[in-house]
Homo-oligomer: A and B are copies of this chain.
């Protein structure tokens, strides 16, 4: 196996993250997940490495790769959704497995200008809208 394949072999996605999201893509380091909440365009990036909690736990190479993937996701979402602001955050108070939120925010969204967490219950996408959103995101990521 390659070094990357070796590193990802022991990775297991936290069940809460799995329950709240659908998978959009797998990049070199991160698994790219969409939160199933139609209220906000909201991605979660999860570095596919075992036992990570903090950004500073990443190796230097992985940190550079994760950072590149965060800005790839953030720039793509800005192009696609033309939000008023992007929010990027690694919190992990409830699920400590390292994961990074990348959220497109609008001045007319229900949480603005506060952070999105805990403000409104998730409104799941319908099947058609979910498929369309995933396809649009993959298109914006550019292959």
Number of residues on chain A facing chain B (CB within 8 A): 32
Q: Which of B70, B92, B114, B115 contacts A85 (CB 8 A)?
A: B92
Binding site for B on A (CB under 8 A): 53-56, 58, 63-64, 67, 70-71, 74-75, 78, 84-94, 96, 105, 112-115, 117-118
Q: Do A87 and B89 contact each other (CB < 8 Å), given the known contacts A56-B74, A74-B56?
A: yes
Check A70/B55 contact, CB under 8 A, given A105-B93, A113-B94, A114-B93: yes
Can you name the residue of chain B whose Cβ is closest to the Cβ of A70? B55
CA distance A112 to B115 in the complex (A): 15
Partner of A90, one of B54, B88, B94: B88
